[in-house]
Structure 1
Amino acid sequence: MVCETIFDQEQTAPTFVGSLEVPNVQEIVRDNSSRVPQIYIRDQYEMPKATDMAHLVTDIPVIDLSLLSNGNVEELKRLDQACAEWGFFQVINHGVPSEVLQNMKQNADGFFNLSLEEKNKFSMPPDDIQGYGHAYVVSKEQKLDWSDALMLVTMPPEFRNLQYWPTKPEGFKEIIDKYSKGLATVGEQLLGSISLNLGLERNTLIKEHKGLSQALRINYYPPCSRPDQVLGISPHSDTSSITILLQEDHLHGLQIHHNGEWIPVKPIPNALVINIGDVIEIWSNGKYKSIEHRAVTNESKARMSLAAFLFPNLDKEIEPFDCVVKSQGLLKNYKKVKYGDYLLNSMKRKMEGKTHTEMAKN
């Protein structure tokens, strides 16, 4: 997604130059379920075999947000360990009602099962990232991901461009609004606890955001007849502060890169998957690192995931906190960068691990 941020005096919401137009993967499968165009097939070195790490799946931390909210010291320690050693964890007792989660998934599924003509009414325009289409396609030569997406800026409300919010299924707009507000509350609670674990005041990271911005990416992964040769989403780390992901209850697809292995994240019904983004990595001077992750496909079933990215204002300057650096006894590993510039730099590139983070490193 090549992007340039544009502001004017009458507009508070940024717009962006969008991704190159590429084929709709869902339609490729509808037309011929055995066909996989060459542009999606990865070189073998890009497709390391996903090791069967089932014995490690249960080791991916599970955090009880209700305990964190009550200031439970042991749960804070577990969160610190999860952020430092994994960069990924699952959250239970997070306060978002299960019916909101299930309604969100059902409505998203309903949208992707509309006709292409109907979905294209909400297509990404050339000058924005919101809408239906594909992201991070910056070259006609790059390998494509086996997925389609719906991308919306959801928070703050004045940043929403409602012309790209689907009107079908009926009530989808309302459930997106309710869902995004619930995730904002979860995000604030997590940022408060992360602040404490970094030796900061509880509200420090929340203040750094000046109102939490949020973008939603709903990913749709059609089945693929050659799942061992394509990727649903390329390996990458997130440019967010934190990311909150809702998975399908019983379908695997998300994998994280941990100790040199690709480990599947087993879904826990009604749990939310949280991962540390690049912004927290910078603020923590690398104590907490954003972790490469990817999505794989399967041969027989379509799968969805709903990723909400929480991030600071585009004009916010980010760098390691002095008190965090001092407590580590280290030099600053990252230089000061303007978040909007950092985001722009990443969007000009295809997803390629953590190469985009070099911009912020000393």
Structure 2
Amino acid sequence: MAPVPISPIKVGHIDDVQELRKAKPTIIPERFVRDMTERPTLAPTLPSATHDIPIINFSKLLKATNTDEFRSEIINLTTACEEWGFFQVVNHGIDLSLLESIEKVTKDFFMLPLEEKQKYPMEPGTVQGYGQAFVFSENQKLDWCNMFALGVEPHSIRDPKLWPSKPVEFSETLESYSREVRKLCQNLLKYIAVSIGLKGDVFEEMFGVAVQAVRMNYYPPCSRPDLVMGLSPHSDGSALTVLQQGKSSSVLTNGRYKSVEHRAVTHKEKDRLSIVTFYAPSYEVEIGPMLELVDENNPCKYRRYSHGEYSKHYVTNKLQGKKTLDFAKIQVTNSS
């Protein structure tokens, strides 16, 4: 059964950033203005920087295990997970037209009139629907972002009344897209297991019926991007976040594989859209470091817990970097 979070504060319609953008305010509302220590540093992106991001060629992982191509790509995957905590996947096999279609229906949804989007509200105590999640107090700063989130698998976590009727092709496109991403996640976890010397099916057997959800984020342009945050710094509560690896993998590998902290910033003139899939163990599954990865040189760093227990903790706390990982850490005290 899905965890039941406590009730956060319901954000008013006046805080809808698309509506704020339409009004073209000369001053950013105080609710969105970050404290000096939280404001983003908007350094220019260097063209060469993209070449440093780990790239995994998925087609090479499909080669026979005794080939040089496979072994080389497994090494690349290990390095990406240990040193970065995220990587870009190329030649993943998902049809480009499907990726374009999900982007189109997502953008079309956000461009609907506010009255239409309000038919699918993110009610207090939930993380599905349209609105802002992780808001728990009236004075908490808001992200310069509109969100639309849905539970996808298993069907028991879905809230059918939140699946929109407009655009008309939205539900069918999301179903097709989520099916392909699910297969990709299953395969990536298989190769991640191999990369740390485990059986390829170890995560599939452990996860049970994996939980899958999607969150769509729309970031309108902001006249003062130096004052706001598109999405607060955080790391994800899933095993895999497409395309970023999340916190459960950090626990399962006893800290060997990273859980990367990330954020989103805004742009003065351009809007931005992201579609994020979260793939995680069944809520009933107990999570803890794999015994094969614990020894006297690498003692156990995390306690065991049910994934449902952790998910409840994650959705009932505001985004605060990697602090939610403290939930699972074993605390060491000095008794002297």
> Would the TM-score normalized by the shorter structure come out above 0.5?
yes
Q: State the one-letter code of the partner of 1:199.
A: G
Query: Do the aligned partners of 2:40 and 2:265 also contact (CA within 8 Å) in 1?
Result: no
State the match for 2:20 in structure 1: 28
Q: State the one-letter code of the partner of 2:320.
A: E
Q: 1:282 aligns with which of 238, 251, 254?
A: 251
Q: 1:46 aligns with which of 35, 38, 41?
A: 38
- Superposed, 1:107-126 pairs within 5 Å as 107-126=105-124
Taking structure 1 as reference, are residues 48 and 115 closer, same or farther at Cα in structure 2, changes over 3 Å only?
closer
Query: Do the aligned partners of 1:231 and 1:297 also contact (CA within 8 Å) in 2?
Result: yes
For residue 207 of structure 1, give the secondary structure of its aligned residue in structure 2.
helix
State the match for 2:333 in structure 1: none
Which 10-residue stretch deviates more, 169-178 or 36-45? 36-45
Query: Do the aligned partners of 2:5 and 2:312 also contact (CA within 8 Å) in 1?
Result: no
State the match for 2:316 in structure 1: 348
- Deviation of 1:280 (Å): 0.3
Q: 1:56 aligns with which of 49, 54, 63?
A: 49
Taking structure 1 as reference, are residues 142 and 46 closer, same or farther at Cα in structure 2, changes over 3 Å only?
same
Which runs of 5 or more residues in structure 1 are unaligned? 1-6, 8-12, 245-273
Taking structure 1 as reference, are residues 335 and 129 closer, same or farther at Cα in structure 2, changes over 3 Å only?
same
Query: Do the aligned partners of 2:287 and 2:307 also contact (CA within 8 Å) in 1?
Result: yes
Provide the rounded CA distance (Å) in 2 between the counterparts of 1:124 and 1:17. 14
Higher strand fraction: Structure 1 or Structure 2? 1
Query: Do the aligned partners of 1:64 and 1:91 also contact (CA within 8 Å) in 2?
Result: yes
Query: Do the aligned partners of 2:246 and 2:259 also contact (CA within 8 Å) in 1?
Result: yes
- Deviation of 1:33 (Å): 4.6
Q: State the one-letter code of the partner of 2:309.
A: D
Which 10-residue stretch deviates more, 223-232 or 61-70? 61-70
State the match for 1:254 in structure 2: none
State the match for 1:66 in structure 2: 59
- Deviation of 1:90 (Å): 0.5
- Superposed, 1:1-362 pairs within 5 Å as 7=1, 16-17=5-6, 19-22=8-11, 23-52=15-44, 54=46, 55-70=48-63, 71=65, 72-244=70-242, 274-326=243-295, 329-362=297-330
Taking structure 1 as reference, are residues 305 and 182 closer, same or farther at Cα in structure 2, changes over 3 Å only?
same
Q: State the one-letter code of the partner of 2:34.
A: R
Provide the rounded CA distance (Å) in 1 between the counterparts of 2:212 and 2:250. 18
Q: State the one-letter code of the partner of 2:319.
A: M
Provide the rounded CA distance (Å) in 2 between the counterparts of 1:129 and 1:330. 36
Provide the rounded CA distance (Å) in 1 between the counterparts of 2:163 and 2:315. 22
Across the aligned residues of Structure 1 and Structure 2, the Cα RMSD in angstroms comes to 1.6
For residue 121 of structure 1, give the secondary structure of its aligned residue in structure 2.
coil
- Deviation of 1:52 (Å): 4.3
Provide the rounded CA distance (Å) in 1 between the counterparts of 2:40 and 2:8. 27
- Deviation of 1:47 (Å): 2.1
Which runs of 5 or more residues in structure 2 are unaligned? 331-336
Query: Residue deviations 1:264-294, cap 9 Å, x none?
Result: xxxxxxxxxx222110000000011111100
Q: State the one-letter code of the partner of 1:58.
A: H
TM-score with structure 1 setting the length: 0.85
**Which runs of structure 1 show a deviation greater than 3 angstroms over 4 or more consecutive aligned residues?**
13-19, 50-53
Q: State the one-letter code of the partner of 1:298.
A: H
Q: State the one-letter code of the partner of 2:166.
A: K
TM-score with structure 2 setting the length: 0.91
| Matched positions, count | 321
Provide the rounded CA distance (Å) in 2 between the counterparts of 1:131 and 1:18. 14
Q: Percent identity?
A: 38
- Deviation of 1:53 (Å): 5.7
For residue 195 of structure 1, give the secondary structure of its aligned residue in structure 2.
helix
Q: State the one-letter code of the partner of 2:33.
A: I
Provide the rounded CA distance (Å) in 1 between the counterparts of 2:300 and 2:227. 40
Taking structure 1 as reference, are residues 169 and 15 closer, same or farther at Cα in structure 2, changes over 3 Å only?
farther
Query: Residue deviations 1:278-329, cap 9 Å, x none?
Result: 1000000001111110000001121110010001111211110111113x82
Query: Do the aligned partners of 1:132 and 1:149 also contact (CA within 8 Å) in 2?
Result: yes
Taking structure 1 as reference, are residues 141 and 36 closer, same or farther at Cα in structure 2, changes over 3 Å only?
same
For residue 179 of structure 1, give the secondary structure of its aligned residue in structure 2.
helix
Provide the rounded CA distance (Å) in 2 between the counterparts of 1:182 and 1:83. 22
State the match for 1:264 in structure 2: none
Query: Residue deviations 1:23-54, cap 9 Å, x none?
Result: 21111111225441011111221125244462
Q: State the one-letter code of the partner of 2:202.
A: T
Provide the rounded CA distance (Å) in 2 between the counterparts of 1:179 and 1:60. 25
State the match for 1:266 in structure 2: none
Query: Do the aligned partners of 2:218 and 2:271 also contact (CA within 8 Å) in 1?
Result: yes
Provide the rounded CA distance (Å) in 2 between the counterparts of 1:198 and 1:141. 44
Query: Residue deviations 1:235-290, cap 9 Å, x none?
Result: 1000100101xxxxxxxxxxxxxxxxxxxxxxxxxxxxx22211000000001111
